Amino acid sequence: MPEKKPKKKPGAPRKRRKLAGQSVGLAAKELATASLPNVVEELQSAVERDGGKVLTAYREPYGGKWLVMAALPIDQVEPTPYQRNLSDAHVRKLEGVIAKLGRFLDPIIVVRKESKDSQTRYWTPNGNHRLSAMKTLGAKSIVAIVVPETTTAYQILALNTEKAHNLRERALEVIKMYQELATLDEATEETYALEFEEAALITLGLCYLENGRFSGGAYHPILRRSDQFIKKSLHSALDTRRERAKTLMDLDKTVVEKVDALKAKGLTSPYLKSFVVARINPIRFRPKDAAPLSFDEVMDRMTKAAEKLNVEKIRVEDLARSGGAPEEPSS
């Protein structure tokens, strides 16, 4: 018999990842030695026209991309329209720290965005809490690192791991970003695969927009295996996404009816919805070598199974044997 690997003791320190075998990027003295590209010079001029003040321009040390550090009129800076809501507790904490230090030491990240009403705005995909704190404290300006490439805002938002998103926050962030990007060009969902993370979040985002208390967590594992990126322009694909969201919400209404029937029988558990969804899940015991089911196939099978589910045959022991996540708390 092969020798069993010894189990790690709880709380044992994890091994650190090895450092890269060779150095990359720029040396310190190289960050500001090259001549400015035209796009950076134009950005600097635009910042000055907007009433801001350019402090410096430099290349960041990892990829050598150009950035502009500037002081901006604070009333011209706002959060991106597709990111999660502020945490009031975090903002209040920042207000206290900034006021106590008497200094603002952590520049926010922004991109320059000309809106449809011809007014210039600076969107911050990373710095909304600091921005809100400074506005509350009455600051006239704020120091920001201005990224020349506007589309970088979407990538920064996707990579921002300062605070872990729950499923609802992630899905809402993705669909708001999707709706904004759909107005820009003919790009497809796959073009923004990094920013969207997964196709399921787009569909769930539309569900949450319709119903903020939607129990997306019950369906997320199924959607991750059946909901794929649509190979159409975002503008065209949005109609299909709305149809998928409606199909999912219609299914959920049937599931809720079954959950209510189980509760009427006296069955009480935070896992009731997960239990019902698991019973009608056509992917759960599907062979790994079987052809994957499409979103429409999965929804059709689940809807039919939900309608046929006989709650009178479900016993307490069945529920006790079931696993899964409890229903999401409403917010």
**What is the domain-level CATH number for residue 47?**
3.90.1530.10
**pLDDT of the residue at 3:** 54
Same domain, 201 and 296: yes
Residue for token pair 């209510």: 260
Q: Is a pLDDT exceeding 50 seen at residue 285?
A: yes
Confidence of residue 330 (pLDDT cuts 50, 70, 90): very low
Same domain, 241 and 193: yes
Chain centroid, CA 76 distance in Å: 25
**Sheet with 141-146, side-by-side order of all strands:** 53-59, 66-73, 141-146, 108-114, 120-126, 77-79
Same domain, 171 and 117: no
C-alpha to C-alpha distances, 225 to 127, 200, 236, 247, 292, nearest whole angstrom:
34, 9, 23, 17, 8
In a domain? residue 12? no
In a domain? residue 125? yes
Same domain, 197 and 314: yes
Same domain, 196 and 98: no
Q: Cβ atoms within 10 A of the Cβ of 123, count?
A: 23
**CB–CB of 223/204 below 8 Å?**
yes
Listed in sequence order, the residues at least 6 apart from 280 whose beta carbon sits closer than 8 Å to its beta carbon are 255, 301, 302, 305, 306, 309
- Domain of residue 202 covers 165-331
Same domain, 196 and 311: yes
Same domain, 180 and 321: yes
Domain boundary among 123, 148, 163: 163
In a domain? residue 218? yes
In a domain? residue 7? no
Same domain, 140 and 206: no
- Which residue blocks in 182-286 are alpha helix, DSSP H? 193-196, 199-210, 220-226, 234-264, 272-279
Same domain, 133 and 198: no
Domain boundary among 147, 163, 179: 163
Domain boundary among 120, 138, 163: 163
Same domain, 212 and 299: yes
Which helix or strand (DSSP H or E) is residue 72 part of? strand 66-73
Report how many domains make up the chain: 2
Same domain, 186 and 138: no
Same domain, 178 and 312: yes
pLDDT tens digits for 19-34?
A: 666 778 999 999 988 7
**pLDDT of the residue at 156:** 72
The answer to pTM > 0.75 is no
pLDDT, mean of residues 298-316: 92
- Low-confidence winner among 24-33, 157-166, 172-181 (lowest mean pLDDT): 157-166
Confidence of residue 325 (pLDDT cuts 50, 70, 90): very low
In a domain? residue 178? yes
In a domain? residue 1? no
Q: Is a pLDDT exceeding 80 seen at residue 320?
A: no
Q: Is a pLDDT exceeding 90 seen at residue 308?
A: yes
Confidence of residue 331 (pLDDT cuts 50, 70, 90): very low
